[in-house]
Structure 1
Amino acid sequence: MNLSGVGRRYGLTGPWVLRDVDLDVPAGTLVRVEGANGSGKSTLLRLVAGIDAPSAGRITGRPPRTAYVPERFPAALPFTASAYLLHLGRVHGLGRREAAARAAAWLERFGAGAHARTPLAELSKGTGQKVAVAQALMADPDLLVLDEAWTGLDAAARAELDRAVGERVAAGGAVVFVDHDPRRLAGAADAVHAVSGGRVAPRATGPDSVLVGPDTFPTGPDSVLVGLTAPDAPDGLTGHTARSDTYGSGPSVRVTASGGRLPDGPLPGRPAREDGPGGSVTFTVPAAHSDALLRELLTSTPAWHIHRVDPATTTSRTP
């Protein structure tokens, strides 16, 4: 999907909210949008999702199956939770039986199964937000647009949404999101774009970021994007302390996370791990495997909370 020279203003003579936006959203990518309140983030997401039409420029390549979670869910609709999801599933082209099954599954997944027959107007804000997220995910969209979708969710539902985002990207879908918490999916984004003064630009590269190619943008001073070639870790490497040179001369990444459970089998890239305070674990993995490792951690049950993603400091090997 591509936005070329896109602008948006409200009314023929109103001020421009966005101007000259050029943005690529390739399939299989996670894109974060940042900016101050009122900067135009929600307007950009509505343009990406097709909710609003551009006042200038062109948008091409939007996938036919696109789903959107707005910042505010319109709860005063004449449906129960399950009836609303069934209706949206039918809009997405699902058969009635399939739509009903997916609606029930997503409500259960977000801990809202007991409210399936509750009218939307009677749902709490948090439960209503779970329904809003479920309607976007139940049709396996090729483009998922999330505008503060985590707001109002309890901790378990936020972790479930993190997992669902990882699943969409791993399945080849594109996800574009805004969230007020800078730790949300920290280190997992393939690109970060900042909205300011009506313009959209890739976020500046920090001095310690590891860049992967001409078409990707690091996510800031503490971020790492993957795609660099690095040798695989030696088989059986599972020590409690690791240095980046354990893997040879290629760049490595340190991922600090907590709250999850280690799988029975090896993690992608066979990372070394170092146990830290409060139950945290730091994984050191070749940069070429860091994307796969992050997705594995985010989609595990329970999901890991990602605290930091940093380039591993290179040190000389001790004889």
Structure 2
Amino acid sequence: MRLDGVGRRYGARGPWVLRNIDLDLPRRSLVRVEGHNGSGKSTLLRIVAGIDAPSKGRITGRPRSAYVPERFPAALPFTAVGYLTHLGRIHGLRGPAAARRATDWLERFGAGGHARTPLAELSKGTSQKVALTQALLADPELLVLDEAWTGLDPAARDVLDRTVAERVAAGGTVVFVDHDPRRLAGAADARYRVSGDGLDRLPAGAGTGTDARPADAGTGIRPADVETGARPADVATDARSAHNGALPTGPRVIIEAEAPGAAGHPTPRDLTGLAELPGRPYVTRGPDGGTTVRLAVAAAHSDALLRALLAAHPPWHIRAVAPAPPSPPPAAPAPDENRYP
């Protein structure tokens, strides 16, 4: 999707809120928009999402889009699941499928117990979970989040962080604004600042005043520098991890990620260091044999592992996130021809 020369003002003679905006939003990308209050961030996001129309300029290549506003209008005459089922039908889903997806997403965000609660009776945090669910029902190709983490509990914020990674890994585009400079710090493929009535692209790693990442926000992964907990040198060079070849038991998630900067190939010691990440993932090289690795981790630890990869400095590029297929049963031992009955 691309914006060329886009501008927006309210009224034929009103001042320009945005003017001459050029913005490229490629597939499989995470884009952060920054700026002070009242700078026009929300106006830009509404235009990107198709909620608002530009006063001038051209938008091309708009994909199937979904939008989570800063303030969700909760005073509507529906229950949570009734509202979401209605919106699912608008997205082209059949009623039962829409209700099932709505319930699944509410459960994932920890709001399943409020499915039958009238919207007007929901708390701010639960209303925000409904707003997120309506945006995710139909797997949007473009997801636009305007302060979408506001009001969420820590567990739901973690779920949203992972959902963003999943959307990007699936080939989608996510554009977001958040007041917390640590939100997905270092993970964005591009960062822009709305200033005056224009839009400036920020260089990678640049501090931006109130949006700068605090110096103590964490050192990231830095896989080549990981020393603590390193395994002995006899860890196999195909990186079967600190588990010495043992996969995590129970439900697992596979995360395919590309090394930061894609400079050179990860060394065995780098991959051994990755095995010390949250959940102590089982690490193998990706199919390209280069900078891509696959990390298998118990499902209970997958959110923490994704956060660590996204918050690395520089960040890892998440290429895919998917449940692991069930492990095959152990093979029966070969018959011993030297044994006698």
Query: Smaller-chain TM-score range?
Result: 0.7 to 0.9
- 1:213 maps to none
- 8 A Cα contact 1:5 1:58, kept in partner: yes
Q: Is the 8 A contact 2:261 2:314 kept in 1?
A: no
CA separation of 1:149 and 1:267: change in aligned 2, threshold 3 A: farther
Deviation at 1:235, TM superposition (A): 4.0
* Distance of 1:303 and 1:118 partners within structure 2: 34
1:2 aligns with 2:19: no
User: Over the residues paired in the alignment, what is the CA RMSD in angstroms?
Assistant: 3.3
Report SS of the residue matched to 1:31.
strand
CA spacing shift, 1:30–1:207, aligned 2, 3 Å: closer
CA distance in 1 between partners of 2:205 and 2:136 (Å): 34
Is the Cα–Cα contact under 8 Å of residues 28 and 174 in structure 1 kept in the other structure?
A: yes
In the alignment, the residues of structure 2 paired with residue 95 and residue 111 of structure 1 have an alpha-carbon distance, to the nearest angstrom, of 24
Q: CA deviation at 1:201?
A: 1.2
Among residues 302, 305, 330, which one is paired with 1:300 in the alignment? 302
SS in 1 for 2:184: coil
For 1:272-294, what per-residue CA distance to the aligned partner results, in whole angstroms no more than 9, with x for missing partners? xxxxxxxxxxxxxx9x559x88x
- Structural mapping, 1:10-89, within 5 Å: 10-63=10-63, 65-89=64-88
Amino acid at match of 1:261: G
Alpha-carbon distance between aligned partners in 2 of 1:155 and 1:8, rounded to the nearest angstrom: 36
**Contact 2:260–2:314 (8 Å) recurs in 1:** no
- Matched letter for residue 203 of structure 1: L
Aligned to 1:316: none
- Residues 118 and 140 (structure 1), Cα distance of their counterparts in 2 relative to 1, 3 Å cut: same
Match of 2:283 among 266, 280, 294: 266
Q: Does structure 1 conserve the Cα–Cα contact (< 8 Å) formed by 2:259 and 2:266? A: no
Matches of 2:120 and 2:26, distance apart in 1: 37
List per-residue Cα deviations over 1:193-244 (Å, max 9, x = no partner): 1100010111134589xxxxxxxxxx9999999774433223465556xxxx
Structure 2 portions without partners, runs of 5+: 223-257, 316-341
Alpha carbons of structure 1 residues 169 and 311: separation in structure 2 relative to 1, 3 Å: closer
- Whether 2:327 is the aligned partner of 1:310: answer no
Aligned to 2:153: 154
Q: Is the 8 A contact 1:261 1:301 kept in 2?
A: no
Separation of aligned partners in 2, 1:311 and 1:155: 24
1:302 to 1:74, Cα distance in 2 relative to 1, 3 A:
same
Q: Contact conserved, 2:162 with 2:306, CA < 8 A, in 1?
A: no
CA distance in 2 between partners of 1:221 and 1:152 (Å): 22
Whole-angstrom distance in 1 between the partners of 2:113 and 2:8: 41
Tell me whether 1:232 sits opposite 2:231 in the alignment. no
Q: CA deviation at 1:188?
A: 1.2
Deviations 1:159-218 (A, max 9, x none): 00001111100000100000011111111111001100010111134589xxxxxxxxxx
Q: Secondary structure at the match of 2:313?
A: strand
Secondary structure, aligned partner of 2:59: strand
Work out the number of aligned pairs and report it. 263
Structure number with greater Rg is: 2
AA matched with 1:151: T
- Give the 3-state SS of the residue equivalent to 1:261 in structure 2: coil
Give the Å deviation of 1:60. 0.9
Residues 246-287 of structure 1 show CA distances to partners (whole Å, capped at 9, x for unaligned) of xxxxxxxxx9x98x4232x20677xxxxxxxxxxxxxxxx9x
* Aligned AA (1:17): V
